[in-house]
Amino acid sequence: MKKSSRLSLILVLVLAFTAILSACGGAKKEGSAGTAGNQEAKKDVELIWYNIGTPQKDTDLVMAEVSKYTSEKIGVTVKMKQIDFGDYTQKMQVLTQSGEQMDILFTASWGFDYVQNARKGAFMELNDLLDQYGQGIKDTLDPAFLEGSKVDGKNYGIPANKELPAQDVWRFNKQWLDKYNLDITGVRSMESLEPLLKTIKDNEPNVVPFMIDRNFIPNLPYDYIIQNLPLAVKLDTTDYKIVNILETPELKEALKTMRKYYQAGYIASEVATTTDNSDLTLTGNWFMDRPTTQPFADNLWTASLGYPVVSTPATDAIIYNWSVMGSLQAISANSEHPVEAMKFLNLLNTDPYLRNLVDSGIEGVHYEKIGDNVAKNLDKSRDYDMPTFAIGNIMLTYLQEGDPEDKWEGFREFNEAGTPAPLLGFNFDSSNVSAELAALTNAKDQFWAPLMTGSVDPDKYTPMAIEQLKAAGLDNVMAEAQRQLDEWLAAQK
Amino acid sequence: MHRVSHFFKDLHKNLPILLMVLPGAIGFILFSYLPMGGTLLSFKQYRYNGEGFISSFLSSDWVGLRNFKFLFGTNDAYIITRNTLLYNAAFIILGTFAAIAMAILLSEIVNKRLSKLYQTGMFLPHFMSYVIVGFFVYSFLNMDKGLLNSILERFDLQTVSWYTTPKYWPYILTLTNLWKTIGYSSVVYLAAITGFDRSLYEAAMIDGASKWRQIRNITLPLLKPLIIIMTLLAVGRIFYADFGLFYNIPRDSGALYPVTNVIDTYVYRGLKTTGEMGMTAAAGLYQSIVGFILVVTSNYVVRRIDKDSSLF
Amino acid sequence: MAANIKKSRDIHSLSPFMNIVFNVIAAMFSLVCVFPFAFVVILSFTDEKSLAQHGYRLIPEKWSTYAYEYMFQNGAQLLQSYGVTITVTVVGTLLSVMIIALYAYGISRSSFKYRGFFSFLALFTMLFNGGLVPTFIVVTQVLHLKDTIWALILPMMMNAFNIMIMRTFFKSLPDGIIESAKIDGATEFQIFRKVVLPLSLPGLATIGLFCTLAYWNDWFNALLYIDNPNLVPLQSMLMRIESSMSFILQNSNTSGLGSLAASLPQETSRMAMVVLATGPIVLAYPFFQRFFIQGLTVGSLKE
């Protein structure tokens, strides 16, 4: 008796509720469908474009100007929505998973992961669209971009034309070089740094000689299957055999050096938990570090740090998957206007007027031209400050005051000089081993930073680490990766 | 027929109160029960097909219990479960004790102005995110410049590399947690105590009962239902760890994982590379089910002892 | 003389010695709690360079208001966000306390036949949830709340924890009061409004405080549901700055973000953010304290 009345109560509630819901939901839908149907015939197509970056005050203003131009050229208008850097990945995940309406969206190896989301079906396959409406893109882009950003043989995003390879450099704070008359011409390997570091350590107790953080990994001649997991093949591999990086002689050697530097005090003692060295860069109390470079980077760094720095290569310029996928624009799988979206992307990557409008805003409002190809920011540019590298072909953008005239020429040379990494174009599909990968990431995080920064004794901890990784399923993942790699190689032939 | 009429009679009799509960019930159904269907994701490998969530959900593959595997399949499973349970048990026991003690203490202080001032002060930690608290703990414990190590040095004691020495961290984390939560949780008890009928105390006073006896014989028994409820509610969340506490305070230091890795940090680290939605849902479901079982069991025990104090 | 003093002392109160002990304990703990916050205020007024050079100092080498100037560059946005936060907090708290009190009262009444069911209905939501995406879909696609202020209010309105606390408060009221009011011919709503609510002020103040804090501190709903910059609440704005800052710093080596790193706000600005975000709400606490008045007795209200 009691039970049945309780049940009927639930039933009444649920029924009443669904009635309310369907009434609300239904009414709204009909309304919007009706208006859309009427207007579609005449009006331009509106593209919804999700982009990474701090939302800007004048975005709508500039997009109205963009729409004016694109409406005339290709019959589309553009609405851009910006999501700040720190929130982008999470919010885009929710938006795509829930099927939010959008046409174009930003993706990269480091933000809203390109490969992963391509595999999950978030993006539309672009090969046919590219052939039909993206000829301009194909002509301007270095072919390595489109080749390297293929996932399982298909393109899902348009890479921005920018620096293609990645090259690490040793970067020095020039004031200390000058003070002690240090020469960096012979510097290349990590071992070759020692005399310089020693000089600084002995003479400048307040300066951190070698500024690194917990994400530091010594440069090794290997190409990683997954960033930050110890599976890799040698850069000059011929048999494409995947090895555990922890078992390689190169790493052993490198860790020995790191340990020596750590114990000598060249590296800050809390490095294994340090995520950010901005207090050092602010005061200049550092001697050297190891960033990834791009053409004319020294100028850029000197300007942004506020004091002179110089750099010298630490590695060759190598084209990795992640460097190719540094910035892409994709078309959403649920886009209703893929053709228009591709036309727009094609225009964005080939038309200097449009590209600069999106990038720097309206001429005379946000910037003014002080030369044929040179722009200068006006005060209002604060209301429209976009991340240039994220919105298509950067080689179309105007030079800024003080930029070398041959800036883009330098980029092209840099790109041509890059050598492809052995795994370029191969992307590991982790869906079969996602459980192992979760355990593996935890096991790896436990010792990775202390080991790589020299904070712990490698002779003692490396074997422990290897053992724990094996317990977490490293061998399984390695076998799966090798299988996929062999298949990929066979398909390449 | 009889049943139906009985039902409507009941409904009519309870109508006024039913109407009172209705807005809240609708709120729960909308924002909690309607989305609950998403729990099914934990048995799917979710892939989009470009036609919205429902359609993508339906076209995704069922994978059975595969999404749960990562929670149980490894050596870490034991460590994270143990850490989560032990820390939370310690927080519940010590936290409840400290909050009640503090509430009684504050309610007994003669000068009410001062008492309010203290209360306000104790509330401040609640407003500081664990990121900021993490900065402070770091400025105490940092190896070279940290306050604690410079004190140790001054007394010629061996300095400690705090962020690589696991044995201190159970204490550090427990203290940090207590520091952050006591002010907040004592408010509930304080409010209850101030609501108690003064005449009970007056009667006790006339009987010559000392302050301690009053606390033991009046305040604590009156607080009992609230203590039970608060504890039961906390038990339901015993499998959820405070991510900020266990991630930001130890600065995600690998050497400390054996004592700082809890379910929430494990899931976070494990899924940051793959981002599988089904696995996130699976972890949540696992935490929910364990909490559910624990609450139902302890509620059953409470019911046997004191029916009125039970949750349902 | 001594006897005289003793007599004039309130019979409720502690012995002077214990009073001092209690005061010392409470004062010490409260100091431990206030200290870091005071430190945050000091740091927010420290010169960035001197902070980087010398670390945390109680008395900085060099004071500076730069952090606040940086934050107030977006003065209009900041004010707007304060407005949103205050609106959401006030409306949300009122609505939430009202609905929670009604619900909790219903399930506290032993004469209410379905109290077990509704207690369970509430409690179950504490243990199980559908996850981010399904909730997002309900809010945006079923209720169409995206980019409205209701998206910040309604999803947080119900809270089982507060309901259970409130139910316990209601239950501790003597049964006789409700019964006698019933005999006087009062309807259920009248009893609730005129008899029960006035007696439950400390409880209402408690959950009111919890709701206020929850609404004030919420940034996640805004992250999910709000695109319109005019509707972004304070915490969300500050969280956005904070999380973007750490994201850029962590990824500056592997992406084009390096050049952005230089223009980021620094540590002092983070501290200023904490001050700006929590300052006003800290001041609200004494307002709630007013309701925790000792001696609000059942007896005195009966007359």
| B149's tokens | 């190590």
Question: What is the reported pLDDT for C265?
Answer: 64
Residues B33-67 have pLDDT tens digits of: 999 988 888 999 888 888 888 888 888 999 989 89
The region of weakest confidence among B292-306, C67-81, C255-269 is: C255-269
Q: Is the distance from CB of C270 to CB of C242 less than 8 angstroms?
A: yes
Q: Look at A98 and C48 and tell me if their CB atoms are within 8 Å.
A: no
User: Facing residues of B112 across strands?
Assistant: none
- The C-alpha angle with vertex B112 and arms to B106 and B118, in degrees rounded to 5, equals 50
Distance of CA A435 to the CA centre of its chain: 25
Question: What is the reported pLDDT for A33?
Answer: 40
Order of strands across the sheet that contains A208-210: A208-210, A286-289, A169-173, A309-313
Q: Look at A9 and C253 and tell me if their CB atoms are within 8 Å.
A: no
Give the closest of A8, A334, A450 to B254, CB-based: A450
In a domain, residue C243? The reply is yes
Domains in chain B: boundaries:
65-309
How much is the average pLDDT of B87-94?
A: 97
How much is the average pLDDT of C36-61?
A: 85
Q: Is the pLDDT of residue C292 over 80?
A: no
Question: What is the reported pLDDT for B1?
Answer: 57
Give the side-chain half-sphere CA count within 13 A for C257.
Answer: 25
Q: Is the pLDDT of residue A283 over 90?
A: no
Q: Is the pLDDT of residue C33 over 80?
A: yes
Question: What is the reported pLDDT for C264?
Answer: 64
Q: What domain range includes position C228?
A: 75-294
In a domain, residue C64? The reply is no
Question: What is the reported pLDDT for B305?
Answer: 86
- The phi, psi pair for C278, rounded to 5°, reads -105, -20
Rounded to a whole number of angstroms, the distance from the CA of A64 to the nearest CA of chain B is 28
Q: Is the pLDDT of residue C88 over 90?
A: yes
B190 to chain C: nearest residue by CA? C292
Q: Look at B131 and C282 and tell me if their CB atoms are within 8 Å.
A: no
Question: What is the reported pLDDT for A289?
Answer: 94
| Number of domains into which chain C is organized | 1
Rounded to a whole number of angstroms, the distance from the CA of B233 to the nearest CA of chain A is 24
Q: What is the overall mean pLDDT for chain A? A: 89
C135 to chain A: nearest residue by CA? A98
Residues B120-139 have pLDDT tens digits of: 899 889 888 898 899 889 98
The region of weakest confidence among A28-32, A72-76, C165-169 is: A28-32
Distance from C-alpha of A429 to C-alpha of A152, rounded to nearest angstrom: 9
Distance from C-alpha of A254 to C-alpha of A258, rounded to nearest angstrom: 6
Q: At what angle do helices B169-195 and B76-108 cross, to 10 degrees?
A: 40
In a domain, residue C188? The reply is yes
ipTM here: 0.88
Strand duo A169-173 + A309-313: pairing: antiparallel
In a domain, residue C61? The reply is no
How much is the average pLDDT of B101-117?
A: 90
Distance from C-alpha of C117 to C-alpha of B291, rounded to nearest angstrom: 19
Q: What count of CB pairs under 8 Å joins B to C?
A: 275
- Chain C CB contacts of B111 under 8 Å are 23
The region of weakest confidence among A85-99, A128-142, C256-270 is: C256-270
Q: Look at B21 and C158 and tell me if their CB atoms are within 8 Å.
A: no
User: Is B121's Cβ below 8 Å from some Cβ in A?
Assistant: no
Q: What is the DSSP string of A140-154?
A: HS-HHHHHHTEETTE
Q: What is the overall mean pLDDT for chain C? A: 84
Q: Which residues, 6 or more positions from C63, have their beta carbon under 8 angstroms from its beta carbon?
A: C45, C46, C47
The CATH number assigned to the domain with range B65-309 reads 1.10.3720.10
Confidence label for C243 from pLDDT (cuts 50, 70 and 90): confident
Q: Is the distance from CB of A134 to CB of A342 less than 8 angstroms?
A: yes
CATH of A44-162+320-421, one of 3.90.550.10, 2.60.420.10, 3.40.190.10, 3.40.50.80: 3.40.190.10
Residues A316-339 have pLDDT tens digits of: 999 999 999 999 999 999 999 999
Question: What is the reported pLDDT for C261?
Answer: 62
Q: Which residue has the higher pLDDT, B5 or A420?
A: A420
The CATH number of the domain where C171 resides is what? 1.10.3720.10
Domains in chain A: boundaries:
1-34, 44-162+320-421
The region of weakest confidence among A128-142, A161-175, B3-17, B70-84 is: B3-17
How many helices and strands (H and E) does chain B possess? 15, 2
The region of weakest confidence among A31-45, A255-269, B46-60 is: A31-45
B214 to chain C: nearest residue by CA? C12
Q: Look at B195 and C209 and tell me if their CB atoms are within 8 Å.
A: no
Residues B143-163 have pLDDT tens digits of: 877 888 888 989 988 889 999
Q: Is the pLDDT of residue A27 over 60?
A: no
- The C-alpha angle with vertex C249 and arms to C248 and C254, in degrees rounded to 5, equals 75
